[in-house]
Amino acid sequence: MHSLPPIGITVRKKERNFLFTAPYTHTGVQQLVRWIMDSQGIGQFELSKRAGLSPAAVFQILNKSEKQVTRPSRRSTLSALAQTVGAEVQFDSATNQFALVQKYDLPETDSKDLGLLLTEIGDWIISRRKRMTSQERDRIVRVVKAVLP
């Protein structure tokens, strides 16, 4: 198994595309749920529907403190959450961390294609600058970071 990147850092490696890493604790799972909701622009109820979980399960993950739980969420729960962003979960028992890994590899892009993509994104941003939400901006930044080597 590959060693995971440091906690809280999203990186792209040639052999794996890490989307999110955290310690396999209740707090780490809470961070994952918040990250998914922010990245998808959805609330607790919509996340529960997409993941096939009960709304109460998502509510409990978000609202219980580390002291109120005896163990982190089941791995099957993490897998269901990961599927909502097209990822799978990878566990590293040596460091007690988990990571979301993209199920697919991003296509290789040459500098010309990358330049055109960035130009199109820039044009879109300029045309919508007063109406763009922070979620839209964050999604664009994630896309650009994902395609950069």
Count how many domains the chain has. 2
- CA neighbours within 13 Å on the CB side: how many for 125? 15
80 domain-assigned = yes
- 61: domain CATH number? 1.10.260.40
Confidence of residue 145 (pLDDT cuts 50, 70, 90): low
Encode pLDDT of 91-133 as tens digits. Answer: 888 889 988 887 655 556 666 776 777 777 777 777 766 666 7
Contact yes or no for 17/10 (Cβ under 8 A): no
Domain that includes residue 124, residue range: 111-147
For residue 33, give the 3-state DSSP assignment.
Answer: helix
Confidence of residue 13 (pLDDT cuts 50, 70, 90): very low
Q: Are residues 116 and 98 both part of a single domain? A: no
